[in-house]
Structures are given as structure tokens and as C-alpha cells.
Chains A and B, each alone.
Chain A
Amino acid sequence: MALNKIAAKLGEQGEDFVAKSLVSRGLRVLDRNWRIKEGEIDLVAQDCDGTIVFVEVKTRSSISHGDPLESISFDKAFRIQRLALAWLATHQRLGSRYRIDAAGILVTRAGEFLMDYREGVL
């Protein structure tokens, strides 16, 4: 398998893991991998109080290139915010409460998923 395919698979696994953990915490997943020209939102969920939660998931298999969350720069976070507004506009939800979360997933050699979940990063 080509390297980028391995990475894509890893990313997908990471997103699955985060989606599951969101559901287990009582959130409802509304959308996954919502993609427009400007970019992609990994996960859109709704909290029990109605808040729309946009989650950026970053998965890595080692920390040799730093912590997964470190790769989310402020520029990237702002881009996610623009995408979030676009999502809200597309789904006629503008004006509802929303927040942006980030999840860093580290996959250990044993295949274990370690999650670092940060709420409201922006």
C-alpha cells in the first residue's frame, strides 16, 4: 500500500475512534468528512444541550514529529472555523451555538488508541 493510503487509513481509523467516543458521551454525530472546495470538516456532532460541535481529528502513529495536536496551527484552526460557518450556512443552522474541538489520536505499536481531546480550542 502506498504511504499516503496508509496515512489515509490511519486518519479514518482515528476519526472512527473519536466518533465512537463522542457517541459514548451522549453526542449525536451529524456529519462526517464534510467536504467543500475550501476544505474538510472531520466530524460534526451535536451536544445534548444543542451545541453543534466541529471536531478536527489528527491521528499519528508516533510522536517523532511531535504531538498530534501540535500540527494544528492557529491558521488551520481559523480555517476550520470558516468551514464550520459554511457548514452551518449550508444546513440552515446559522445562529445556533457551536464550538470547535480538537482531538489528537496517537496509535501505539500495539494498536492502542490514545486520545487527547480538547474542547473549545478557538
Chain B
Amino acid sequence: MTLARTASINLIGLSGEPIEIEVDVSNGLPAYSLLGLPDATLNESRDRIRAAILNSGKNWPNRKVTVSLSPAWLPKSGSAFDLPIALAILTASEQLKHSELEKAFYLGELSLEGNLRPVRGVLPTLIAARESGVKNVVVPRENFQEASLLSELNVFPFSKLNEVIRFLESGIKTENPTLIDVTKVVSNVDMSEVAGHFENKSALEVAASGGHNLLMIGAPGSGKTMLAERFPTILPPLDETEAIEVSGIHSIAGTLHDRNVLSTEPPFVAPHHSTTIPALVGGGSKYIKPGACSLAHRGVLFIDEAPECGAGILDALRQPMESGSITITRSALTTSFPARFILVLAANPCPCGRFAGRGRGCQCSSLQVRRYLGKMSGPLLDRVDIRLAVESPTRAELSSVENEDSATIRSRVIRSRKVAAKRFAPYSFKLNSQIPPNLLREHFRPTKEGMTILHSLLDQEVISARGFHRTIRLSWSIADLKGVTVPGKDEVEQALTLRSGMPGE
């Protein structure tokens, strides 16, 4: 037999396409041609595969080797094809005789020594494999934990090309590596470490239960970052589907090693303010990588020093904030990544940072102060429901010992989200922050007293129409936390306070 076939998966964004790999070994001059729009990594596969085959004690066929990856029109990338190509070459050159080669999918990069090296994006790749009806997959051992999350698949992990050959020839399988126990939440920070800030903590609680975006303004050192870092610890843990979804995105980005594969902890992503738009929303020409906002999917995207961000950078977040996903289009392909995150922005009140509290020592002119916060665009702030003025805790607050831990706060958040989910059961959204305006006015109105306050503020032009809607959404979250069925006067008033932390509206 001079022709052999194997199969693998090519990943574009989060979706995978089954790829058929055909290898023909014919009697020409020794040559190797790889067909089917390979990228640079894939083109280099020849030298890796050749060395790996020789160093695994097999022979490289000194003949004309033609490798075709079909469908031919689809651009292919990555090193995961090394293993299937190597196996097909060995079969086509009659060094590996096994009829079951086509019954499995293969993934794995080869080292020159013949070892199998881990590849990126195994989780979404295998989800695609499962959808195309595959039962058996061969993966590098380092990817086993990730791969074994999909219980419907028979996953065979190996660490050497030789082991795969032996397995295919005789069915001898090396013992499965033991799975590391999945720990629930491995966060090393806790809300109880933050002294004082009682109002801010309860504001965070509201934000967590309703999924509201948040802006914190305060002097340097007042505790903005500390609060933000602990925000994910009060969010409800991810369920299994969500955890797999989040791990899948991190798997493509190659950042999975930072997370436990089945971690139920919501991700926390804090890009530096010098970030670029492609880094934030995702990009790349042939191999599209998810950006920070997709890595923060189902978690928190924290941008410190938000006004220092380049013009237009933060505004790139508006579309994913609206739709919960981001679609990236390049000449070669178009792909979508989910991006449903809670945005937390932190800012100094002015360039020098001292225009807080009584503004003592601030050297900035009023114009500078206004311009500084004005760098965050109106449409962006429009999507931020809560604005907090973060002030340094007082001496009494710093010495207080009664600080609630994250678990206690989280349990309240979970309860309030359950209440909301029940209420929104007939609709497609789950969180208070996602209630569409028309439903706010029809089905989800506060009580008459609550509405009276809002209407009078609207009449006096103290709040805008969008401020009006936002306040109602917030009041629902407050009501859910309190256990009130419909937000009344108190809840509306509290909601108004939560969004008044910033000069302007």
C-alpha cells in the first residue's frame, strides 16, 4: 500500500473542522510536498516528522511523499497534524500495518526525539470531533486531563510516537495517567482581607448578583484594585458546561495552564491599560486568538487606570458588551468567540490622583479633571451601571475586625441570582443587567412610589432616559438581594446612590 489515510481536526476560532489526511508515497525523486493551504508551523512539520520517525527507529521513505490535507480550500494551521501525518507516512511506506488507523482521530506535535508534545485548543477540537461522530482520539499525554473532560470519547494518551505505533500494531496501551482532582475554588484572595469599604462591598455584591458593570473612582492606594481582584470570589461558581466553555477558550489561547482545567472559578482578566484592540477583543491573521474580553468570558474583565487607555480601545468593548460575543473577520476567515463578562473599570479622579474626598493637595485644574474622566466615552459609561467613589478607609474602619468573607457574600449572590432566574424563566436573559428597556417599562416596573421618584427626576432632567432604565435594573438587583419581590421607594433610592458616585450624570 502506498496510500494511507488518517484524520484530525483543524481549529478555527472555537469551531473545528474534520480534516482528512492522505499520504501517497510514490517512486519519484525523494521529495516532500504538503498540500492544502498549510501555514508556517505546518510547513515546518516535515523536518519534525522526519526526525521523529528516524529517532523512533523507523525509516523515512526516500521517495516522493505527497501529503494532502482536505478539504483543500480551508487554510490549516498548527502543529497538531504532526502525529497523524507521521502515522500516515509510516502506513503508506508499509512500516505500520494496521487497518484501524482510520477509526481514530489523532492530535499531537512531534519533537525531534519522537516525543508527543501538547497542543493548544484540545478541548474545542475534541468537542468538534465528538460532533463529527468520532469515538476514539489519540492525544499527547499532557493534554489528557483536558481531553478526558468529554466523557463520551475514548481518549488514548501517549507520550511517544513509538507508543502510538505499538498501540496501533498490537493494541497495547500504556496505563492511563491519574487525573488530578478538580478543586472547587482555588482563589488565594478573600473579601475578608479588605478592611472597611462596607458600602463598596455591598455595591460589589449588587453588581455580582445582577451582572452589572462597575466603575470605581478613587485616589491611588484607596483600595480599588484590591476590591476588584476579590470581585470574582463573590461571583457564583461556574457550572460544568460553563467551566468547559471557559476552559475551551483558554485552551485556544494557550493560557489553560494558568487555570485548572475544570476550574469553577470565574476567570479574572486584567489587561494593562497599554493594551491594543486586537489584544482586547481578539485577532490575528490566520490563527485568530481570543482576546482579553473572551478570556474573561463568564468572569471579570478589570481595566485599571481606564482613562489612560488609548483612544477607542475601551470603546471596542461596546459591541461584545452588547451581544455577549465577538465576531472577528479576517480575509481568510471569520470566527466568533463568546465574551460575556462583567466589566470593572478603575480610574483616578484626576491626572494627579488627589482629587478625591476633599481634594486636598490636588494640583489639577478643573478642566484637567473634567478631561481626564471624559476620556472614557459616554457610550461606554452608558453601559456601566454602578459608579463608586472609593475612598480610603478611616482609622476606625481599618481597625475593624468584622469583615465578611467571600463565601458568605457569595451565598447571598447565588440566592439572589436564583430569584432573578426564576423571574426571567420565560425570557432568554438571566440577569437583571440584561433586561431590555421595553420589558423594564412593561413587566418589570418598580412599585408606584418607586416610579414616582424616578419620574420626578426625569421631569427635572436630573436623570436621562437611559439613566432611568439603568436605575430600574439596579433596583431589581437590590430588591433580589434584600428578598423584596418588587423594588419600592427604598430600592430605587439606593440604586440612585449607587450610580451617583461620579460627577456628571
Contact = CB atoms under 8 A, between A and B. Distances in A.
Contact of B62 (A70, A77, A121): A70
Contacts of B28: 118, 121-122
B44 to A, nearest CB: 19
B298 to A, nearest CB: 52
A84 to B, nearest CB: 15
22 contacts: A67-B30, A67-B62, A69-B29, A69-B30, A69-B62, A70-B30, A70-B62, A72-B29, A72-B30, A74-B29, A74-B31, A77-B29, A102-B29, A116-B62, A118-B27, A118-B28, A118-B29, A119-B27, A121-B28, A121-B29, A122-B28, A122-B29
Contacts of B31: 74
B446 to A, nearest CB: 78
6 smallest A-B Cβ distances: which pairs?
Answer: A67-B62, A121-B29, A70-B30, A121-B28, A69-B30, A72-B29
A81 to B, nearest CB: 12
Q: How large is the interface on B (under 10, 10 to 19, 20 to 34, 35 or more residues)?
A: under 10
A118 to B, nearest CB: 5
Interface of B: 27-31, 62
Nearest to A72: B29
Contacts of A119: 27
A102 B30 CA distance: 11
A82 to B, nearest CB: 16
Nearest to B64: A121
Given A116-B62, A118-B29, 14 more contacts: A67-B30, A69-B29, A69-B30, A69-B62, A70-B30, A70-B62, A72-B29, A77-B29, A102-B29, A118-B28, A121-B28, A121-B29, A122-B28, A122-B29
A67 to B, nearest CB: 4
Nearest to A116: B62
Interface of B is mostly: loop
A118 B31 CA distance: 13
Nearest to B29: A121
Nearest to A102: B29
A66 B432 CA distance: 69
Contacts of B29: 69, 72, 74, 77, 102, 118, 121-122
A31 to B, nearest CB: 22
Interface string A109-122: 00000001011011
A92 B434 CA distance: 85
Interface string A86-122: 0000000000000000100000000000001011011
B46 to A, nearest CB: 13
A77 B27 CA distance: 14
Contacts of B62: 67, 69-70, 116
A11 B29 CA distance: 19
Contacts of B30: 67, 69-70, 72
A69 to B, nearest CB: 5
Contacts of A70: 30, 62
A65 to B, nearest CB: 13
B448 to A, nearest CB: 85
A114 B315 CA distance: 71
B53 to A, nearest CB: 14
Contacts of A72: 29-30
A119 B28 CA distance: 8
Nearest to A100: B29
Contacts of A122: 28-29
Contacts of A69: 29-30, 62
A49 B29 CA distance: 24
A77 B64 CA distance: 13
A64 to B, nearest CB: 13
Nearest to A104: B62
Contacts of A116: 62
A77, A102, A118: residue with the most chain B Cβ atoms closer than 10 Å: A118
A122 B62 CA distance: 16
A116 to B, nearest CB: 8
Nearest to A67: B62
Nearest to B28: A121
Q: For B29, B31, B62, which residue has the most chain A Cβ atoms within 10 angstroms?
A: B29
A85 B28 CA distance: 20
Nearest to A119: B27
